[in-house]
Amino acid sequence: MSTVYILWLRQLKRYFRSRARMIGSLGQPLLFLFALGFGFGPIYQRAGGGNYVQFLAPGIIAMAILFTAIFSRIEIIWDRQFGFLKETLVAPVSRFHIMLGRTLGGATVAALQGVIVFLLSLLAGFRPLSITMLPLAFLFMILVAILFTALGTAIASLLEDLQGFQLIMNFIVMPLFFLSGALFPLQGLPKAIGIAASVDPLSYGVDGLRGTLVNGAHFGLFADFAILGIITALLLAVGGYLFSKIQI
């Protein structure tokens, strides 16, 4: 397991060395939080929904984790094109351990992004209802981060060019985000949208964060945790298998 630890640590070093990457990845979540939170806040309040920033912040935290986790896996294609991945794969260690270390490293970075957005959301007026539920909220952040980093790893293992990865990720990420209930309540939706939201794994991450932070779970915290755990385990297995089949 030392390989897992080394690769995990390498991902963290890359993250902290790139200040531009750290700051740039916060731009979109903060734009959504402040522009939508204060822009649609009065409308949401007049509709009887209460404080929109309170509702929106958990969804934006999940959004920050999603985007960072998915797009961090572009490093696999980058390393593959420039030969760095070959040097790693020829090492006498299990490819699954290599994949696991890189995935956990990317997930840690994504979870840190979620924590940073959570702290910045406090400046926007967001207030968690229960301090005692914060550890569970952070656990949901970690689960969401691992899930989507594993998904990104699985897809990156099948592709060889950066442009194709970016196009496919945009095709996947935007529907995942907009159908997750991050921006709107899941109650009372048209049937087709409700079904789409129920099969979207991010919906359970957003719901888990909303349940732990503002006591607004739609599916229930146990269901959120169980479904996220099952999907995460499946994607780690699939990602490990596809990563092991990479040709060098």
pLDDT tens digits, residue range 26-45?
778 888 888 888 888 888 88
How does pLDDT run across 129-188, given as a tens digit for each residue? 889 999 999 999 999 999 999 998 888 888 777 777 777 777 888 899 999 999 999 888
Burial class, 7, CB count within 10 angstroms (exposed 0-12 / middle 13-18 / buried 19+): buried
Q: How many CB atoms lie within 10 A of CB 73?
A: 26
**Alpha helices, DSSP H, located in 124-220:** 134-158, 162-178, 191-198, 201-214
The pTM of the whole model exceeds 0.85: yes
Q: Of 163, 231, 221, give the one whose Cα is nearest residue 200.
A: 231
Q: Find the domain containing 173 and state its range.
A: 2-244
Number of domains into which the chain is organized: 1
What local confidence, expressed as pLDDT, does residue 210 receive?
Answer: 95
Degrees to nearest 5, angle at CA 15 with 11 and 17: 115
Averaged confidence pLDDT in the chain: 84
Please tell me the distance from the alpha carbon of residue 40 to that of residue 26, in angstroms, as a whole number. Answer: 21
Chain-centroid distance, C-alpha 1: 24
- 25 in Cβ contact with 64 (< 8 Å): yes
Q: How far apart are CA 94 and CA 35, in angstroms?
A: 46
Percent above pLDDT 70 for the chain: 85
Residue carrying structure tokens 């750290």: 22
Q: Measuring CA to CA, how many Å separate 45 from each of 40, 50, 55, 140, 190?
A: 9, 5, 11, 28, 22
How confident is the model over 90-116, as a mean pLDDT? Answer: 84
pLDDT at 137: 95
213 neighbors 127 (Cβ within 8 angstroms)? no
55 by Cβ neighbours in 10 Å (0-12 / 13-18 / 19+) ranks as buried
Percent of the chain with pLDDT over 90: 39
Residue 111 CA, chain-centre distance (Å), reads: 8
Alpha helices in the chain (DSSP H): 2-17, 19-24, 27-31, 37-39, 41-46, 52-72, 74-82, 84-89, 95-123, 134-158, 162-178, 191-198, 201-214, 221-244
* Residue 105: half-sphere exposure toward Cβ, Cα within 13 Å: 25
Q: How far is residue 130 CA from its own chain's centroid?
A: 23
Which SS3 state, helix, strand or coil, does residue 164 take?
helix
Q: Confidence band (pLDDT; 50, 70, 90) for 94?
A: confident
- 8 — pLDDT class (breaks 50, 70, 90): low
Least confident range of 83-92, 139-148, 207-216: 83-92
